């Protein structure tokens, strides 16, 4: 029974990590789009350097979140495989 509970918990953690990863990928796509548009606005004189720096910071944060969620997903998958003796 303890093994079954462990398998259920590992599956739940994997699904959560997968959802977090998908959200991070979507957020990064949005951050890239916003960054690209803001760069164009900056080059045309419609955005300030402060605004551009803020957007770049948000982009880097989104990238960091995506990388972190990738690692969490890989760890969760490893735990799931261990729970089902597939490693």
CA–chain centroid gap for 44, Å, is 31
In Å, what is the CA distance from 50 to each residue of 15, 40, 42, 53, 76? 38, 14, 10, 5, 39
pLDDT digits (tens, 9 = 90+) for 24-81: 999 999 999 999 999 999 999 999 999 999 999 999 999 999 999 999 999 999 999 9
Containing H/E element for 66? helix 49-83
**Burial group, residue 62, by CB count within 10 angstroms (0-12, 13-18, 19+):** buried
Q: How confident is the model at residue 8 (pLDDT cuts 50, 70, 90)?
A: very high
Nearest residue to 38 (alpha-carbon basis) of 30, 29, 47: 47
């Amino acid at each position: 029974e303890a093994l079954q509970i462990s398998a259920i918990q590992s599956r739940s953690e994997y699904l959560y990590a997968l959802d977090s990863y998908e959200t991070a990928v979507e957020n990064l796509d949005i951050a890239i789009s916003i960054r690209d548009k803001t760069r164009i606005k900056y080059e045309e004189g419609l955005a300030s350097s402060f605004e551009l720096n803020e957007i770049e910071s948000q982009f880097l944060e989104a990238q960091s979140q995506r990388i972190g969620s990738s690692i969490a997903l890989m760890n969760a998958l490893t735990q799931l495989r261990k729970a089902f003796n597939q490693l």
